A and B are shown apart, each in its own frame.
Chain A
Amino acid sequence: MEFQPTIISFLCNWCSYTGADLAGTSRMKYAPNVRVIRVMCSGRVDPTFVLSAFQEGADGVLICGCHPGDCHYHEGNYKCLRRYHLLQKYLQQMGVHKDRLRLAWISASEGKQFADLADEMTATVTALGPCKIKEVMETLA
């Protein structure tokens, strides 16, 4: 059977989660691999959430927030962006491919963009294959 990745996704309540809901109300079809966790703001996405997702066996992590300038809380998405860059460096040092973590801006009206993003991310992570970090950590432990 073809490898089916699991992708944990953090969506902000105001823009991205609403955008993902819109994809649903508009009956757009996309890959079933993304599992959504709702947070109030992408600024709430603690780096440990991302690390924990990989540690629990996720093959990819997708963080979505409001577009720059549109954050419901003014600038939480910028805070998220800064952390994302640091987190990318850290993950790569741990041997996690950069494409396994993605940050994207999805507005409340971008259902189509969310559906496309879910498909793209699924295709990318499928091509990368299973993330071995969980096993590596278990071996080290």
Chain B
Amino acid sequence: MEEKRIGVYVCWCGTNISKMVDVVGVAEEVGKLPNVVVSKNYKYMCSDPGQDLIIKDIKEHKLNRVVVSACSPRIHELTFRKALTNAGLNPYMFEMANIREQVSWVHTDREEATKKAKSLVLGAVARVAYHEALDKRTVEINPASLVIGGGISGLSAALEIADSDKKVYLLEKEAQLGGHTANIDLCFPHMIPARQILGPKIKRVENHPNIEVFKDAAIEEVFGYIGNFNADIMANGKSRNIEFGNIIVATGLKPFDPSSVDLHGYGKLPNVVTSVEFERMLQSGKIETKDGREPKNIAIIHCVGSRNNDYHEYCSRTCCMLGLKYANQLRTALPDSNIYEIYADMRSFGKGCEEMYAETARRKIMFLNFDQREGIPQITKAHPEDCCEMLIEMKERLSNTNIEVPADMVVLLVGMEAREDARDVAHQVGVSKCGNDFFIERHPKLDPVATTTDGVYIVGSCQGPKDITDSIAQARAAAARVLATITQGTVEVEVTTAVVNEDICCGCQTCVNVCPYTAISYDEEKSVSVVNEILCKGCGTCVSACPTGAIRARHFTDQQILSQIKGLMTTEMTEV
């Protein structure tokens, strides 16, 4: 057996780790282990000089295994694997100990944190000793792509890819393309008609030689993996199977239903309308009450369903600007009306948006502030002598007074929520959801449109509330990612699959039954189970279920994990 020569690198991450962990001490202690040839500490291991340090040591000290003790492997495992490759070492001869996210950032006692960090490094050293070289598998990329959702995000992504001469399948659930943007009159802050943005896009998509549009469509099942997906779909009552290499999910949002907010009286008071309904009114050019009168007093209520723990904790990010847009449109259409913006906090953060807020404030709009924590405005039917149809009772925060606001029409700025079918979509394409059912990106800053499933991207409001500007930016970003993989033609995929040792396999087929991907079949002739490595996604469920220990999970072998446990529990520095 080859001699194990391990290099250990403990990162300071500036002060992020070094403030709470004695990085110098940890490196020194671990350096005493028999298999550890070098043990160093350095300010930023992920920096170029940090990586060069590893590469130099691998060559100089003939290291054959490396441990980096730094941030989460979810952030820099690939970075360091690449460094190993550059030094001529197999990238799987590497292990990371997470002493930032899971130590220095979460603990307050330096001594305890250092003790834990040391233990995690010992676990990693013990594990890496049993790592085996694995060869990356390369798969071809099918140049066609699937875009799910024909709203502004899906349309933008589809066009970007199709304009690069690549095939796109665009799936839309409804009979029409356009999504929620089709129901919008003008776009803030430039007041451009939404149909000017949307119309040409729809037309181009429908006539594009590289785009095949399926309307009234639904996905039944998605199979495969990056580069080689296929799906059974139903469109216009007909079923079809399509093949593609990448997926862009652009399934959009659902407007919050304010019926559950009793105090606003939606559904009971006829002239309380949602922003969605008010847009329709604006599109038709007629702003009038249910009985056809021109409203004299119009109130716009913000944060309906948003930033309120009874409904959704998050901010829907577009409603404040919608409210300002309505105030402007109303002021122009009804110059003599009284317009009230009833807001919790004004969030006009986009480019040109704060300017629009300032401009709106000069147009005789009454801004009234309320505190969500002290209750939301209550809308009731007014008495005949009140000269208005409704009264809004609220505590005005800035003047600290209880007031009544007259209204003939109330517009509720309803927030955005995840669609009800988000769970089905998540299952079909293999993306995760956060607590609010919006899809989760691979990394909020470093990888905002990718997901944890290779070849699957998320854009627009299915990822979180977003305006048109941001949705289009994300859509084109995802399209660029897809085009990059298509241009490369091939992609390396994980090889951490399961493998059966035919000599030990007793043919009981327990594994065949537990595999969620039907990746294991039974070879009648040899009386053993066989893993299809293309279908296997490496969850390891079969490995734990195998009664004879015949299945190994590559890179997550029993030996590696048991050794890591031993390492974590080590107290004597000579043991590992």
Contact = CB atoms under 8 A, between A and B. Distances in A.
Interface string B156-174: 0000000000000000000
B558 A40 contact: no
Contact of A70 (B433, B517, B537, B556): B433
Nearest to A25: B101
Interface stretch (B105-113, B179-187, B389-397, B485-493): B105-113
A83 interface: yes
B292 interface: no
Contacts of A29: 106-108
B440 interface: yes
A108 B434 contact: yes
Nearest to A39: B556
Contacts, number: 145
Interface in B72-92: 72-74
Nearest to B107: A32
A36 interface: yes
Contact of A48 (B426, B433, B558): B558
A8 B565 contact: yes
Contacts of A76: 516, 539-541
B101 A44 contact: no
A49 B562 contact: yes
B514 interface: yes
Residue of B72, B106, B537, B553 with highest tally of chain A CB at under 10 A: B106
B120 A35 contact: yes
B564 interface: yes
Contact of A44 (B115, B543, B569): B543
B430 interface: yes
Contact of B544 (A4, A20, A43): A43
A38 B73 contact: yes
Given A35-B120, A37-B568, A39-B540, A79 B514 contact: yes
B243 to A, nearest CB: 22
Given A44-B540, A52-B565, A24 B101 contact: yes
A40 B120 contact: no
B561 interface: yes
A72 B540 contact: no
Contacts of B517: 73
Contacts of B540: 39-41, 43-44, 76
A44 B545 CA distance: 8
B237 interface: no
B109 A32 contact: yes
Interface string A1-42: 000101010000011011011011101111010011111110
Contacts of A30: 106-107
A104 interface: no
A108 B434 CA distance: 7
A57 interface: yes
Contacts of B74: 17-18, 21
A6 B116 CA distance: 10
A57 B569 contact: yes
A119 to B, nearest CB: 11
Contacts of B561: 37, 39, 46, 49
A35 B115 CA distance: 11
B556 to A, nearest CB: 6
Contacts of B562: 48-49, 52
B70 to A, nearest CB: 12
B41 interface: no
Nearest to A10: B561
B123 interface: yes
B481 to A, nearest CB: 20
A18 B432 CA distance: 11
B497 to A, nearest CB: 11
A64 interface: no
B423 interface: yes
Interface in A90-113: 107-110
Contacts of B103: 32
Given A29-B108, A48-B558, A69-B423, A14 B432 contact: yes
B64 interface: no
Interface in B524-576: 537-541, 543-545, 553, 556, 558, 561-562, 564-566, 568-569
A107 B424 CA distance: 17
A44 B553 contact: yes
A45 B113 CA distance: 26
Contacts of B474: none
B543 A72 contact: no
Given A32-B116, A39-B561, A107-B434, A27 B106 contact: yes
A73 B434 contact: no
Nearest to B568: A35
A68 B92 CA distance: 31
B302 to A, nearest CB: 26
A48 B100 CA distance: 29
A58 B569 contact: yes
Contacts of A56: 565-566, 568-569
A109 B438 CA distance: 11
6 contacts: A24-B72, A24-B106, A43-B540, A47-B544, A53-B565, A58-B565
Interface of B: 72-74, 98, 100-103, 105-109, 112-113, 115-116, 119-120, 123, 423, 426-427, 430, 432-435, 440, 452, 496, 514, 516-517, 537-541, 543-545, 553, 556, 558, 561-562, 564-566, 568-569
Given A27-B105, A70-B426, 15 more contacts: A8-B569, A14-B432, A21-B98, A23-B106, A29-B107, A30-B106, A40-B496, A40-B539, A40-B553, A49-B562, A52-B565, A52-B566, A56-B565, A69-B423, A74-B516
By Cβ-Cβ distance, the 6 closest A-B pairs, closest first, are A24-B101, A44-B540, A43-B541, A73-B539, A41-B539, A109-B434
